[in-house]
Structure 1
Amino acid sequence: MKLITSARNEQLKHVSKLLSHGKARRAHGQTVLEGVHLLQACLQAGVRPIQVYVPEHKRCAGEAGALLAKLPEHCVTPVAAGVLSRISGLAQAEEVLTLIDIPAPPARPRQGDCVVLDCVQDPGNVGTIMRSAAAAGVQKLVLGQGCADAWAPKVLRAGMGAHFLLDVSECVDLAQWCAGYGGSIWATALSATNGRNLYDTDLTRPAAWVFGNEGGGVSAGLLARATGCVNIPMAGATESLNVAMAATICLFEQMRQRL
């Protein structure tokens, strides 16, 4: 294994572009996982990394060393101390960086449980919703146009490995998709006059949940296509919840009703 000693190395320049630019990720069909936890999730899901870049002193040590021992030698590239910190956004930048192919887009769901995101732009929110969906047993995620890139580094970090448990469809025309979906569609909306209490709503049947933009909520066009609007009861003068928190509450209430 040849040691990389400079961030100007062509391989690391490619990794840096993938970390920084969605256009590069789309052009190459690749992304980068930052940290040992995401490498572990990747391997547990049966995904074969293209290449793993690891600080030289960690190659045979600790958790990273145990994971890397499972990979063919040609898939592991040691990097001199301090080099990866120049391209990674992690606070503890001396972590492994794993280059993978972005999975091929799945068939878009026509029925069954799914989560639909309408212009949710914050990477942390998208990743957290993905993590909550996986934990609540919902395996299909539909991202409309204008959402954060599902395979961006910040989304991957917030998802904590949920990406490998979900079927993720991106850049979907949501109005068109809703017209072809065969189940109930629930939307969360504070302003809906016909909104129903989450805890009084029957969520035992398969359904799609639509969660909207951080500032504007679910678009009027999608609200009109929804089976119903659901409100989360809140005490006091609280006006709203973060979209990721709202999604988590709704999905776990759905799971609770089905247990």
Structure 2
Amino acid sequence: MLTSLQNPLVKQLRKLHRAKERREQQLFLLEGTHLIEEACAVGVALNTVCYTEHWQQNHESLWQKIQARSSRIELVSPEVLKAIATTVEPDGIVATVDRFHTQPVQFTKLGLVLETIQDPGNLGTIIRTAAAAGVEGLWLSADCVDLESPKVLRSSSGQWFRLPMSTSDLRTDILKAKQQGMQVIATVPSATQTYWEIDFTQPSLVLMGNEGAGLSDELIELADIQVTIPLAPGVESLNVAIATALILYEARRQQEKI
């Protein structure tokens, strides 16, 4: 059992709390039973797994799966596990996974583009919603919050593994999507059309912008259509994750009628 916070492995894993270290080590942390269950369900290989004795005793079925797909397994004390995890009260298991969201994402029916999303809770919630709404994938600008942030992973409720995602040169990729026949829809507060007036039965790419500033002028200019979400008097805006959910589910509603 690892009991020392000075152990080299423990020090290495604690560094993964920082985005810079995740990039340099090409690893990120999975914290908690649910995320590790979801990773195993879609065949993700686990690098190093640290677990407590109490956790193992209560998760025998998952333990068997972990043993079959992990490169290194370490029994650790509760104190060590708490030091490795970013959560205040970890549930007894933490693993590392190779960074892998670098593959190209292609859209044919419904895609989502996110520009400069800064809050990890928002990004994780959008990922969860996009997966539930049947979005084919997600493009993110390079200045979005780190995709492998522990809070992004937790907020996605495991759907992080089920949605193709990549950091993208948004202008270049949006132009390519337009050439391939996708309509590009920008969410803009000053637009005159509401989102439910749009024909989402056509292949569509939805653009959502920063929590405070919205979409950049550069991306707005690329859009074929600008839409808004009506708000009651005195309400300035909606949370970006909520706004995204409204638009994606309207798209799904229309597409299911085809």
Q: Which residue of 2 aligns with 1:30?
A: 27
Structure 1 CA distance for aligned equivalents of residues 18 and 65 of structure 2: 30
After superposition, the C-alpha distances for 1:176-231 in whole angstroms (9 at most, x for unaligned) are 22221131111111023xx3111221111221111101110000110010011111
Structure 2 CA distance for aligned equivalents of residues 128 and 210 of structure 1: 16
Of residues 41, 65, 74, the one that matches 1:70 is 65
Of residues 94, 97, 115, the one that matches 1:100 is 97
CA contact (8 A) 1:185 1:227 kept: yes
1:141-156 correspondence to structure 2 within 5 Å: 141-156=138-153
Which amino acid is 1:254 matched to? Answer: A
Q: Which residue of 1 aligns with 2:198?
A: 201
Equivalent position SS for 1:82:
helix
**Uncovered stretches (5+) of structure 2, i.e. residues with no partner:** none
Deviates more, 1:34-43 or 1:195-204: 195-204
CA contact (8 A) 2:10 2:80 kept: no
Q: Which residue of 1 aligns with 2:230?
A: 233
After superposition, the C-alpha distances for 1:115-141 in whole angstroms (9 at most, x for unaligned) are 111111111111111110000001311
Q: Which residue of 1 aligns with 2:170?
A: 174
Shift of 1:81: 2.2
Aligned residues: CA RMSD: 1.6
**Uncovered stretches (5+) of structure 1, i.e. residues with no partner:** none
Within the alignment, does 1:132 sit opposite 2:129 as a pair?
yes
Structure 2 CA distance for aligned equivalents of residues 70 and 218 of structure 1: 43
Task: Give the TM-score normalised by structure 2.
Answer: 0.91
Within the alignment, does 1:187 sit opposite 2:180 as a pair?
no
Task: Give the TM-score normalised by structure 1.
Answer: 0.91
CA contact (8 A) 1:81 1:94 kept: no
Structure 2 CA distance for aligned equivalents of residues 110 and 206 of structure 1: 8
Structure 2 CA distance for aligned equivalents of residues 98 and 138 of structure 1: 28
Identity among equivalent positions (%) equals 35
Deviating above 6 A after TM superposition, structure 1's stretches of 4 or more consecutive aligned residues are: none
Equivalent position SS for 1:72:
helix
Q: Which residue of 2 aligns with 1:13?
A: 11
